Amino acid sequence: LRSKEFDDVDVALTTRELARMIKSTGIDFADLEDEDYDAPFNKATGGGAIFGATGGVLEAALRTAARML
């Protein structure tokens, strides 16, 4: 990577730091109401169900290729 193509990173948060920030605001995820996912994350396919099974990644890739071609 060439540094001219990308801006420098000024700040980075770890997952632990983010969790502490959320906790410090008093937000309790157990008390939050469920909501629908925002697009495009509200769409699902059968490929997600087979992804963790043996051969599932290949099958999901083939399904995607078949749909796109």
Dump pLDDT digits (tens) for 14-65: 999 998 999 999 998 889 898 888 877 777 777 677 777 788 888 888 988 9
pTM for the whole structure = 0.39
Instruction: Using DSSP, state whether 65 is helix, strand or coil.
Output: helix
pLDDT at position 24, please?
A: 95
Beta strands in 1-69 (DSSP E): none
Tokens standing for 32?
């939050």
CA distance 41 to 8: 29
pLDDT at position 7, please?
A: 74
Reply yes or no: is the peptide bond before residue 40 cis, omega within 30 of 0: yes
Where residue 3 falls among pLDDT bands split at 50, 70, 90? low
pLDDT higher for 45 or 68? 68
Q: Is the dihedral of CA 11, 18, 43, 62 positive or negative?
A: positive
CA distance 54 to 56: 5
